[in-house]
Amino acid sequence: MRILVADDDELSAEILIQSLRSMNHEVVFASNGAEAWDLLQKEPFRLVILDWMMPEMDGMEVCRSIRAMQANSYTYIMLLTGRTDRKDRLEALEGGADDFLTKPLDNGELVARLNVANRILETEEAVRQTNRELQQARQVEIELGATIQKRLLFRPPPRNINGIETANISIPSQHVDGDFCDYFSHSENLVDVIVGDVMGKGIPAAMVGAGVKSALQRSMISLLTMSPDLELPTPDRLIRSLDEMVCGELISLGTFLTLCYARFDSSTNTMTYVNCGHPKIILWEALTGECKLQDTTNVPLGFSDTESYQQHSANLHPGDLILFYSDGVTDLKMGDGKRLGMVGFADWVHPRGHLPLGDFLEEVTELRREGLTGLVTGDDFTCVVVRYRGDEITHDGSLKLWADSGSLRKVRNYVKSIAADPRLNFTADEVSAILLGVQEAGSNVVRHSRSGHKGVPLEVRASAEGGWFTVELIYPGVHFDPSDAPEPVLDGSKEGGFGISIIKKCVDEVAYTLQGEQNLLTLRKRANV
């Protein structure tokens, strides 16, 4: 063993060093406490023998300094002393000393005490090694849990869902949590979004989450197979079946979960949902730009197996934004020290509902960063966001959509299909002029009807009746008065300001009017007879 010996009495130090070397120990010598402390800071020693009384820094001071130092291994400290007073020795033990060597040294006692030191150091090392292995095992477990979370609980939404666009974010409080999310796509018009939160954190919560998710899938399959005509079970029927399957287990495990099951039907423009104790769904209405908290009356799953689960529904319009979120969101502490809450979160969503989903979730992440500073530890944080797009082409043949710059191509394709009516007898150039006019009108609507917004709900009605081709654009927001528009600059010195004059040149008639509370822009072109 490498041993540090510190003693200002050279003669007694020499005797000790000789004895230690004769027992095959390697000895480093310091002639006072300060020197010993310097050596200890440079390299670790498993065993240190310090003379109690030394100039500059005495043995007790060095002892306290060693104990105050953060070290990877334990240092065994023996104090060399002539003192036999019980009070002194208690004080030394209190200060971190492990044992004493009494002057004058007795060789037999030295051997015995070194054996004790060795046994203690070996035990200490074994404990540390076990701890390191436990920590490694725990890390592996955490990583495994994070993989379960990613693969089983929170896979990204499928891309081929019709009628809705969806994105999600989930930040666990401990690498892994019990928040989960799932999607069932039944047909072109029907898709279910499921968001849940298991009480508790860590791997146990994640395991319960995975179990509930699989029980939900089993419920769906068993209800479908039991139904004589394979009728899709309603959300309340599904939740009842899930509850029967898992409630007893949840109660015996001493846990429960909140769950929101929402079905989007783009043939009826409705969302049907059951909310079992999850924070209230926020619906941002594209037409009004207002946020509404959706009713909920149900308790979490795992409270009572006789609970009946009530189903609610809400009408949707293309562009509506629907938010599901965990209490990690509402528990955020904002700048004023108050909890964000559901109403606070809805107020926060209000000016941001128009944002593309990726941008929206980035802002949600930023909100979390701000809101976490007021908290000691954050809760699991989940937000699932759905942009309802609907069927777009409606029963009466009009186009209703959430119009952002990327969807104007859809508007052109729709108008083009109706402008191809043989009764209109339009030339190719006439059709392309109409499409250009519609494009300019549509892009003005997107950019200006709600200033600063990235999208707007737009209804487009095109018809070929009575010798005219008519395109109507119906949209909310600021009413536009074309007489306010400046004349375009045609010498190439300005890059914009052409839109209004292009629209006028592309068709025979343009009118900006109102239809109820919405704006109506009508473009008309006479058919070729």
Partner 1 sequence: MTITPESIQHGRALVLKVNAESLETDNVAAFRSAMNPLLDKSAHFVIDLSAVEFMDSTGLGAMLSCLRGIKSKGGSLRLCSLSSEVKQLFEMVMMDRVFEIFDTPEAALAK
| Dist CA 243 CA 261 (whole Å) | 13
296 and 420 Cβ atoms separated by less than 8 Å: no
The least distance separating partner 1 from the CB of residue 457, rounded to whole angstroms, comes to 18
Nearest to 220 by CA among 208, 232, 236: 232
Taking CA atoms, 483 is separated from 98, 362, 500, 504, in Å, by 94, 40, 10, 12
The least distance separating partner 1 from the CB of residue 197, rounded to whole angstroms, comes to 38
Helix (H/G/I), strand (E/B), else coil: 368: helix
Residue indicated by tokens 């969807």: 407
Question: Which member of 496, 516, 517, 529 binds partner 1 (CB under 8 A)?
Answer: 496
The least distance separating partner 1 from the CB of residue 332, rounded to whole angstroms, comes to 33
Q: In sequence order, what E strands does 339-495 have?
A: 381-388, 399-403, 456-465, 468-475
* Nearer residue to partner 1 within complex by CB, 306 or 427: 427
Taking CA atoms, 310 is separated from 45, 199, 337, 479, 481, in Å, by 70, 22, 35, 42, 48
Question: Which member of 120, 436, 464, 510 binds partner 1 (CB under 8 A)?
Answer: 436
- Binding window for partner 1 (CB under 8 A); candidates: 56-64, 317-325, 473-481, 500-508: 500-508
The least distance separating partner 1 from the CB of residue 407, rounded to whole angstroms, comes to 9
* Nearer residue to partner 1 within complex by CB, 308 or 427: 427
- Neighbouring CB atoms inside 10 A of 457's CB total 26
435 touches partner 1 by CB under 8 A: yes
The least distance separating partner 1 from the CB of residue 310, rounded to whole angstroms, comes to 43
* Nearer residue to partner 1 within complex by CB, 336 or 429: 429
439 touches partner 1 by CB under 8 A: yes
The least distance separating partner 1 from the CB of residue 423, rounded to whole angstroms, comes to 23
# of chain residues touching partner 1 (CB under 8 A): 30
443 touches partner 1 by CB under 8 A: yes
* Nearer residue to partner 1 within complex by CB, 198 or 506: 506
Question: Which member of 314, 446, 460, 521 binds partner 1 (CB under 8 A)?
Answer: 446
Amino acid at 229: D
- Binding window for partner 1 (CB under 8 A); candidates: 114-122, 224-232, 324-332, 431-439: 431-439
> What residues numbered 395-424 form the site for partner 1, per CB under 8 A?
405-406, 408-409, 412
502 touches partner 1 by CB under 8 A: yes
Our measurement of the distance from residue 414's CA atom to the centroid of its chain's CA atoms, rounded to an integer in Å, reads: 38
492 touches partner 1 by CB under 8 A: yes
- Neighbouring CB atoms inside 10 A of 178's CB total 28
Nearest to 101 by CA among 119, 128, 82, 126: 82
What percent of the chain is helix, strand and coil (3-state, nearest 5)?
A: 40, 25, 35
Question: Which member of 11, 68, 376, 428 binds partner 1 (CB under 8 A)?
Answer: 428
Q: What length does the chain have?
A: 529
498 touches partner 1 by CB under 8 A: yes
The least distance separating partner 1 from the CB of residue 463, rounded to whole angstroms, comes to 23
Nearest to 470 by CA among 500, 498, 441, 499: 441
* Nearer residue to partner 1 within complex by CB, 409 or 479: 409
508 and 499 Cβ atoms separated by less than 8 Å: no
Nearest to 173 by CA among 208, 157, 149, 140: 149
440 touches partner 1 by CB under 8 A: yes
* Nearer residue to partner 1 within complex by CB, 89 or 524: 524
- Binding window for partner 1 (CB under 8 A); candidates: 111-119, 189-197, 277-285, 443-451: 443-451
Question: Which member of 351, 505, 509, 511 binds partner 1 (CB under 8 A)?
Answer: 505
495 touches partner 1 by CB under 8 A: yes
For 211-265, the three-class secondary structure string (H helix, E strand, C coil) is: HHHHHHHHHHHHHHHHCCCCCCCCHHHHHHHHHHHHHHHHHHHCCCEEEEEEEEE
* Nearer residue to partner 1 within complex by CB, 335 or 496: 496
Question: Which member of 410, 501, 510, 524 binds partner 1 (CB under 8 A)?
Answer: 501
491 touches partner 1 by CB under 8 A: yes
* Nearer residue to partner 1 within complex by CB, 323 or 523: 523
Q: What are phi and psi of 283, to 5 degrees?
A: -115, 115
Question: Which member of 43, 429, 481, 484 binds partner 1 (CB under 8 A)?
Answer: 429
- Binding window for partner 1 (CB under 8 A); candidates: 36-44, 268-276, 462-470, 502-510: 502-510
Residue indicated by tokens 């060693």: 66
* Nearer residue to partner 1 within complex by CB, 266 or 439: 439
Q: What are phi and psi of 509, to 5 degrees?
A: -135, 140
- Tokens encoding 448: 């200006």
The least distance separating partner 1 from the CB of residue 410, rounded to whole angstroms, comes to 11
How are beta strands 2-6 and 26-30 bridged, if at all? parallel
191 and 183 Cβ atoms separated by less than 8 Å: yes
Site residues, partner 1 (CB under 8 A) = 405-406, 408-409, 412, 428-429, 432-433, 435-436, 439-440, 443, 446-447, 488, 490-496, 498-499, 501-502, 505-506
